[in-house]
Amino acid sequence: MTQVACIGDCMIELREMADGHFARGYGGDTLNTAVYLARLGVDVDYVTALGDDPWSDEMIAGWGAEGVGTRKVGRIAGRLPGLYIVQTDARGERRFSYWRDSAPARELFDRRETEAIVKDIPEYDLLYFSGITLSLYGETGRQRFFEILKHARGKGRRIVFDTNFRSRGWPDLVRAQEAYRTAFEGVDIILASTEDLDLLFSSDGVRELLLHRAATELVLKLTTPACRIIAGGVDEQVAAEPVPDVVDTTAAGDSFAAAYLAARLAGVEPREAARAGHRLAGAVVRHPGAIIPRASMPDGFGSRQPRQEMQR
Look at residue 306 and give its three-state secondary structure: coil
End-to-end CA distance of the chain: 17
Among 82, 99, 80, 97, residue whose Cα is nearest residue 31: 82
Look at residue 297 and give its three-state secondary structure: coil
Distance of alpha carbon 132 from alpha carbon 9, whole angstroms: 8
The answer to whether 132 and 6 have CB atoms below 8 angstroms apart is no
3, β-bridge pairs: 43
Residue 254 annotated in active site: yes
Please tell me which residue in 9, 29, 43, 254 is annotated as part of the active site. 254
How far does CA 10 lie from the centroid of its chain? 11
Look at residue 168 and give its three-state secondary structure: helix
Question: Beta-carbon neighbour count of residue 296 at 10 Å?
Answer: 10
DSSP letters along 44-96, please? EEEEEEE-SSHHHHHHHHHHHHTT-B-TTEEE-TT----EEEEEE-TTS-EEE
The answer to whether 288 and 248 have CB atoms below 8 angstroms apart is yes
How many CA atoms within 13 Å lie on the side-chain side of 88? 22
Question: Beta-carbon neighbour count of residue 111 at 10 Å?
Answer: 17
Using the Cα atoms of residue 260, residue 49, residue 292 and residue 282 in order, give the sign of their dihedral. Answer: negative
Distance of alpha carbon 186 from alpha carbon 35, whole angstroms: 25
Q: What is the CA radius of gyration of the chain?
A: 18
Active site residues: 254
